[in-house]
Amino acid sequence: MKKCLNDKIFKMLAETAEQENTPTFVIGGFVRDCILERKTHDIDIVVQGSGIDLARSFAEKLGKDIHVSVFRNFGTAMVKYGGLEIEFVGARKESYRRNSRKPIVEDGTLEDDQKRRDFTINAMAISLNPGSYEELIDPFNGIEDIKNKILKTPLEPGRTFSDDPLRMMRAIRFATELGFKIEEETLKAIGQNAHRIEIVSKERITDELNRILLADRPSTGFRLLDKTGLLSLIFPEFLALKGVQEENGQMHKDNFYHTIQVLDNVANVSDDLWLRWATVLHDIAKPLTRKFDKKSGWTFHGHEFVGSKMVPAIFRKLKLPLNEKMKYVQKLVLLHLRPMALTSEGVSDSAVRRLVFDAGDVLEDLMLLCEADITSKNDKKVRTYRRNFQIVRQKITELEEKDAIRNFQPPVSGEEIMETFGIPPSKPVGILKDFIKDAILDGVIKNNHDEALALVLEKGKELGLKPVKK
């Protein structure tokens, strides 16, 4: 096994534990990630005694400026040092009540503590004690499960998941992040206990959902959430995309599998969580807008508009932030068809200018989403779309350099319009500002003050306005 305790910090921890005569072990995620050769900055220390007392003694050894964060209700303490977060906790055993995932905690041994862990790969410990320093303590053979890429629970899985149903989400998250397979009985137990997820807070569920989304291949997680029945309980709007209907021999694609393919495509080019959420939600309204017409077949007219209206309610339900992140997702959902429309109808300068103007700062992410949205199995069609997207991108670059459209401010402001005609804030001011915007976007005038002011004077005359003599 790879040596995991190379950092001098572990020698200092061992010295502190020996001085305090407290059996001490590194446990959980740090051990797992070391064996997997994954970087981690979190170190969990379990002691047979008081974790808080050991944390304070360790901080004193590090130096007088080291702060100890104590969480007495949980019996834990945190020391931050050199980019590491070291958490100390006393070994414990737990029992659960049926209607709560908060355990009744008692002092315990290392063995008790390892039994309460969620998965065998997280139950391994390394000794920091004299005579057994660096010895791996692995009662559930977690190291073999790592070698075989298997995820299973230390104890009977049904009990494990019923006691703490969040572990079901964690199982799927670890399987997605690590590329592991959930052992058959463990997977079966998730399905049998899926209903227990209802006692877990939305915040904790969404934390795990976000980590699934941030994996290299998030579709794995969504397939498992669907297979186990969890998806129908935590995110039914997304599951509603699943399925294919047939009418007069015509079928539409399965929008659930399409969406998770698009999600994987986006994950290949961006690690932005909110772009990935926009991807998940870009077709969310298709079940609500699906119609069949004998002439045109299956249609989903307006699904981008309806979908953008659904975003706030979904964010609120999942306890996602109702701020600029939500508005960013809404904007991408609303605009996600626009670049695709340009590739099929020909790329006019006016249409490109309007896309640049409407998208503003999200333009590049919008293009990434739309390119990822090409999942056709027809290679010729895919090549055509990709080639046309390159044309659109080239046009955007050219027009950006020439016209400075993105997030542009009208070269003649509302204040200047009011001053020019001696009028107060009123409807004509808005009309004239729209004239300027449309004229620039349609290429009638250039984006400069002189041409815009000339247009204002001309259109103002049509509205019956007279310039004020200066």
Residue 203 has φ and ψ, to the nearest 5°, of -60, -45
Is residue 1's pLDDT more than 80? no
Tell me: do 109 and 208 sit in the same domain: no
Give the integer Cα–Cα distance in Å for 290 and 301: 8
- The residue-averaged pLDDT of 67-76 equals 86
**Cα–Cα distance list, 296 to 85, 131, 282, 284, 292 (Å):** 59, 77, 22, 22, 8
**119 in the same domain as 166:** no
Domain that residue 187 falls in: 149-234
- Given a contact cutoff of 8 angstroms between Cβ atoms, the answer to whether 44 and 29 are in contact is yes
248 pLDDT higher than 70? no
CA atoms within 13 A of residue 428's CA, in its CB half-sphere: 19
Token pair recorded at residue 175: 């399987």
Residues 131 and 76 in one domain: yes
pLDDT digits (tens, 9 = 90+) for 297-313: 878 889 999 999 999 99
Q: What whole-number distance in Å separates Cα of residue 466 and Cα of residue 451?
A: 18
How much is the average pLDDT of 314-326? Answer: 97
pLDDT of 258: 94
Q: CA-CA distance, 142 to 153, in Å (whole number)?
A: 10
More confident residue, 452 or 7: 452
Predicted TM-score of the model (pTM): 0.86
Residues 46 and 108 in one domain: yes
Assign 403 a pLDDT band (cuts: 50, 70, 90).
low
Same domain membership, residue 456 and residue 421: yes
Residue 223 lies in a domain: yes
Cα(172)–Cα(221) distance, integer angstroms? 6
Is the model's pLDDT at 346 over the cut of 90?
Answer: no
Torsion over CA of 57, 50, 23 and 113, rounded to 10 degrees?
Answer: -140
Q: Which of 414, 411, 405, 408 is nearest to 443 (CA)?
A: 405
Number of domains in the chain: 3
- Which band of pLDDT confidence, cut at 50, 70 and 90, is reported for residue 444? confident
Per-residue pLDDT band at 235 (split at 50, 70, 90): very high
Q: Are residues 332 and 282 in contact, defined by beta-carbon separation less than 8 angstroms?
A: yes
Distance between CA atoms of residues 117 and 27, nearest Å:
10
Residue corresponding to tokens 């834990």: 76
CB 208 within 8 A of CB 166: yes
Residue 296 resides in a domain: no
Q: What is the mean pLDDT of the chain?
A: 89
Same domain, 134 and 226: no
CATH of the domain at 208: 1.10.110.30
Task: Provide the pairing of β-strand 125-127 with 291-293.
Answer: unpaired
Confidence class of residue 350 from pLDDT cuts 50, 70 and 90?
A: confident
Question: pLDDT grade, residue 378 (50/70/90)?
Answer: confident
Does 50 share its domain with 63? Answer: yes
The DSSP-derived string for 157-205 is HHHHHHH-THHHHHHHHHHHHHTPEEPHHHHHHHHHHGGGGGGS-HHHH
Do 14 and 138 share a domain, yes or no? yes
User: Is residue 22 in some structural domain?
Assistant: yes
Assess if residue 41 is contained within a domain.
yes
Q: Of the candidates 234, 263, 289, which is a domain's last residue?
A: 234
Task: Choose one of 234, 265, 288: the last residue of a domain.
Answer: 234
**Separation CA 452–CA 414 (nearest Å):** 12
Task: Using the CB atoms, write b or e for 4-41: b if 16+ within 10 Å.
Answer: bbeeebbeebbebbeebebbbbbbbbbbbbbbeeeeee
Burial of 199 (0-12, 13-18, 19+ CB in 10 A): middle
Give yes or no for a contact between 125 and 27, defined as CB atoms under 8 angstroms apart. Answer: yes
Higher pLDDT, residue 443 or 372:
372
Quick one: pLDDT at residue 244? 80
Angle CA 400–405–409, to nearest 5: 145
Residues 141, 159 within the same domain: no
- Residues 83, 211, single domain; the answer is no
Residue 100 makes CB contacts below 8 A (sequence gap 6+) with 199
> CB-based burial of residue 369 (10 Å sphere; 0-12 exposed, 13-18 middle, 19+ buried)?
buried
- For the chain, the distance separating the N- and C-terminal CA atoms, rounded to the nearest angstrom, is 86
Q: How far apart are CA 206 and CA 220, in angstroms?
A: 17
CB 336 within 8 A of CB 366: yes
- Which position has the token pair 């304070």? 56
- Same domain as 143, residue 194: no
Q: Is residue 114 part of a domain?
A: yes
Tokens of 436: 């300027």
Single-letter residue type at 426: S
pLDDT at 102 (0 to 100): 64
Q: Judging by DSSP bridges, how do beta strands 136-137 and 125-127 pair with one another?
A: antiparallel
The model's pLDDT over 114-142, given as tens digits with 9 standing for 90+, comes to 988 999 999 999 999 998 999 999 999 99
Nearest CA among 114, 375, 173, 181 for reference residue 264: 375
Range name among 102-106, 366-370, 375-379 with the lowest pLDDT average: 102-106
Amino acid letter, residue 142: G
**Residues 19 and 116 both lie in one domain:** yes
pLDDT tens digits for range 83-99: 889 999 998 876 555 66
- Report pLDDT digits (tens) over 139-172: 999 999 999 999 999 999 998 998 899 999 999 9
Can you give the pLDDT at residue 30?
A: 94
Q: Is 127 inside any structural domain?
A: yes
265: Cβ contacts below 8 Å, ≥ 6 apart: 371, 372, 373, 375
pLDDT given for residue 14 in this prediction? 94
**Under 8 Å between Cβ of 365 and 270:** yes
Q: Which structure tokens are listed for 127?
A: 């000794």
Please name the residues in contact with 380: beta carbons below 8 A apart, sequence gap of 6 or more: none
**Within-domain flag for 394:** no
Q: Which of 194, 214, 234 is the last residue of a domain?
A: 234
89 in a structural domain: yes
CATH of residue 138 = 3.30.460.10
Q: Are 148 and 139 in contact (CB under 8 A)?
A: no
